[in-house]
Amino acid sequence: MVLIHAYCQPDGLIERFSFFLRTMRRSQATVRAYMAVVRRYVEFSGHVPAGLDPVLKYMAMRRDKRLAQASLNIEAAALRCWFGWLKMVEPELWQPDRIPGMRKPPARVVRFLTDEEMGLLLAQPDLDTFTGFRDHVMMATLYQCGLRAGELISMELGSIRLDGYLYVRGKGGHDRLVPFCGAWHGLMESYLRLRSTVRPGKKNALWLREDGRPLRNARSVWEVVNRHARKALGLACGYTRLERTGAGRPWRGHYPHLLRASFATALYQRGVNLVAISQMLGHANVETTAHYLGVDLAKLREAIGHHPRARR
């Protein structure tokens, strides 16, 4: 591999790559992840002795950090995108002999909250306070509409349409409409009345703090869900804690994505078409939804009972 590090040290080339990612409408999370990988790799490759492949050495270094295979795949995807972009804009600078490949991560255990656990979680916030009622409506929206944390935090007053749909700014610039039920709309009307009492001014952001300022980012959603889930569920989600401890990674709490998975699983268990669930989740491919839900053994046993040979 031919490397000219003098062109990598200035921020200009890396910033051009960041602009390229944004132009290609990559999500903010993808841009942040890719840029972190590229900066880390450029710094690391400057210390690799001549004659060694810096890509292989870098990936070996990251594997030594005991990263999950999914995280290693993100590193490989970022480097492949970086090399591909360099080949277009600066072909004389970078001529990689080998681009890292990606491996299929091990099958994960799909986790979700049962109806009873969701009831405990939604009952945890204090509905007599603005913050408690806001947290309750936020978690109800995650569960009843299947939104991602980033999609939830980006909601504005205009996101709630009069025809019974939410306008959701989806991942990767793929916006969609998600239907909502009358019970959720009643909750939202109550929240909007409370929202007007915190002096929001001309702010369009839907989720506000008590001082009238919008919540920061998706991390705020994580903090809301985690705070109430720890109190309401305790060790109900302990499997992930044990799994992370066994892998040498600290337990980080209950994620908002659990509510999204619970939304999809609740619909799937009640016989909703997989294509409809995929559309509501905003997946471009039904196969993604199938992997997202995992294998429900009870549903498989029920399905095989309809086979004509099974009735003999």
Q: d(Cα 210, Cα 50) in Å, to the nearest integer?
A: 58
Q: Which of 134, 171, 195, 228 is catalytic?
A: 171
Terminal alpha carbon distance of the chain: 65
Question: In angstroms, what CA-CA distances link 170 with 174, 176, 261, 271, 282?
Answer: 5, 7, 16, 25, 7
257 is catalytic: yes
Region of 294 on the Ramachandran plot (φ > 0 left; ψ -120 to 50 alpha; else beta): left
- Nearest Cα neighbor of 55 from 69, 70, 41 is 41
301 is catalytic: no
176 is catalytic: no
- Nearest Cα neighbor of 75 from 103, 49, 106, 108 is 103
Q: Which of 26, 191, 260, 268 is catalytic?
A: 260
- Nearest Cα neighbor of 22 from 81, 93, 74 is 81
Q: Which of 148, 195, 228, 254 is catalytic?
A: 148
148 is catalytic: yes
Q: Which of 5, 111, 257, 291 is catalytic?
A: 257
Catalytic residue list: 148, 171, 257, 260, 283, 292
